Chain A
Amino acid sequence: MFTTPRLIIIGLGAALNVSIGTIVYLIKLPVYLDSIGTILVALLLAPDRTAAFLCAWAAGWIGLVVSGLVNPFLPWFAITDVAIALVTALLTVGAAATFRARPLRPIPFTAQVLLCGAVTGIVSGVVSAPVVAYLFGGVTGSGSALVVAVFLKAGENLMSAAMLSGLAADPPDKILQVLFAALLYRATPGELIAMLRPATQARLIR
């Protein structure tokens, strides 16, 4: 399962999560963009959903550990990462062929990005809400804390505010992340994708 090329791509996916996620965290945008690497790792392993899930999960958690040095809130969202890896493996991986089709087919591509991103965002928002509300009292360091504050000011209780904030911020964020991951997947050389397959299945991927 965890061949050397797959371990390398897990590490690269984690590094991508850390680098983009850290920049967004530091400039306090109301998005996260910290799971592009997770989604991309899963796409690279399509159509093997088990490998996609396990490797995406590993990339997500390794990224959390490293990101935790800059954003100490992040490691507590470990379950969210598992949820993102699971949804990606079950749903987004199914769109891999559409994402990689040459030439690009704009309508199916866009539809898949919107669907996969929205579902990932809803699941991620729901799973994260209890952590935001009960572990941190709504007080996280990311830009979405502003959205929580707005809901609280409007009279919502903590759990509702965290849930509504998640459902407002997560789907657009995950749609963006699926879009970026799909475009990076599309541009990745076929030789690398072939290396990630088990030896018996390796063939030139275009």
Chain B
Amino acid sequence: MARRELISGPNFSGRSGALMALLRDGKFAAETFYIGPYSEAALSGLSSTIADEIEIYRAKPARFGRAVFLPLGFAALGRREPQTLSGGEQVLLALHCFSLSHYEAIAIDSALEQLDPVHRDAALDYLGPREEAVGNVALIDNRLPPAPAGWSCSERAADTDVYDCDPGRVVADLAPRQAPTIAVSGLHFDYSDQKSIFRAVDLTLEGGQAYRVAGPNGAGKTTLLKLLVGVLAPKAGTLTFGGEPYRPWRQGNRAIALATQNPDHQWCGATLGDDLARRRSAFARHVHREYLSDTRMAKLADALGVRSLDAHLYELPLAARKRLSWLWPLSGALPWAMFDEPSVGQDAQTRLQLAAAIARLATLGYGVLFVTHDDDFAARIPHRVLALGDKQVKAG
């Protein structure tokens, strides 16, 4: 009888360690397909194209008896680099590779939280107790109920309070401000090797309001955030900020504090102190120096579980890095705050606290955009919906 193991518990209860121990003791399976929280642990890292990624994992000779999980048309995407897929699409590619492979077991650490509701249900269905041919499944998922039917669940308790956090403390003393309006007109964008993402998009984003950017995996949610911050340049269209022309791809970002989906996509220094010092110097003309002082930032970082500005960012546990990634937008340094999948990998209590902190930001007059597939999380933040689809963005 195939095993279905769910390892649950709060952050820092050793769930990832327990998962690894389960895989390494050899009793779960001789070899296990593994999908970690972010792309470096979802893809093999040995392929330059999607076709090669699938070919590496395809069982030779071909395997029969297990249903193939095919949520997207990967054959048509064969020439693309796997890293150009969105986070959720990479997880779907990994699951597809597993379904073709020889592995008799799969372990997934928080990765399913990156999937939109339709794909997440399909993945959980595929991995569920009904599908014996899938083999053994071990899962960490912060959004599954404690004991889903057919799963054996081990509940772990937190074994350290070193990284305890309360996002509410970060925004508790923030003064109100009126974030200028961002207006987008006639936005066109496409990646050079792909179909177009946005076609003639018009959008007005008001300060003092939270917006949820919604859409299926690969619809362009992260792309929209990157366009607004200036990481990408539109093919056509204009942006204004507070009524003035705004071209962040040329002049630099001066308005938006972004927390990226993968926290390691946002550090600009080796230590927290270096990172904040560089942001301080970059925004010196737009933010009062005292706002970004070491004293204030150390206090806010402490509220998010990191006790020293000398902390080496890349040596912190992943969950701690994720929480620290909220520091910049929650600090109130810039009038607009954007969060890309901020709750991935976070336990229930932390998600509640984060939602309350984001809601407070909007209440204070900041502009907020957030991307999430977690409807419960989104429901705790009064918001308007920006629905992406058909190359358009429709405000709800």
Chain A residues close to B by CB (< 8 Å): 102, 186-187, 189-191
Contact = CB atoms under 8 A, between A and B. Distances in A.
8 contacts: A102-B310, A186-B270, A187-B270, A189-B312, A189-B314, A189-B315, A190-B315, A191-B315
Nearest to B45: A8
Given A189-B312, A189-B314, A191-B315, 5 more contacts: A102-B310, A186-B270, A187-B270, A189-B315, A190-B315
B210 to A, nearest CB: 35
Interface of B is mostly: mixed
B318 to A, nearest CB: 12
A187 B270 CA distance: 6
Interface in B301-345: 310, 312, 314-315
Nearest to A103: B310
A191 B318 CA distance: 14
A175 to B, nearest CB: 22
Contacts of B270: 186-187
A187 B314 CA distance: 9
Contacts of A189: 312, 314-315
Contacts of A187: 270
Nearest to B314: A189
A-B residue pairs, 8 tightest by C-beta: A187-B270, A189-B314, A189-B315, A190-B315, A189-B312, A191-B315, A186-B270, A102-B310
Contacts of A186: 270
Q: Quick one: which of A102, A187, A190, A191 has the most chain B CB within 10 A?
A: A187
Interface residues of B, number: 5
Interface in B153-203: none
Interface in B258-303: 270
Contacts of B312: 189
A191 B270 CA distance: 14
A203 B289 CA distance: 41
Interface string B56-90: 00000000000000000000000000000000000
A186 B310 CA distance: 13
Nearest to B310: A102
A186 B314 CA distance: 12
Nearest to A8: B45
A191 B315 CA distance: 8
A151 B63 CA distance: 69
Contacts of A190: 315
A40 to B, nearest CB: 14
A186 B269 CA distance: 12
B269 to A, nearest CB: 9
A74 to B, nearest CB: 23
A15 to B, nearest CB: 13
A197 to B, nearest CB: 17
Nearest to B270: A187
A190 B313 CA distance: 12
B81 to A, nearest CB: 15
A102 B310 CA distance: 10
B126 to A, nearest CB: 31
Contacts of B310: 102
A190 B221 CA distance: 35
B16 to A, nearest CB: 14
Contacts of B314: 189
A3 B210 CA distance: 50
B294 to A, nearest CB: 15
Contacts of B315: 189-191
A190 B310 CA distance: 15
Nearest to B312: A189
Interface string B218-239: 0000000000000000000000
A14 to B, nearest CB: 16
Nearest to A204: B315
B69 to A, nearest CB: 29
B317 to A, nearest CB: 11
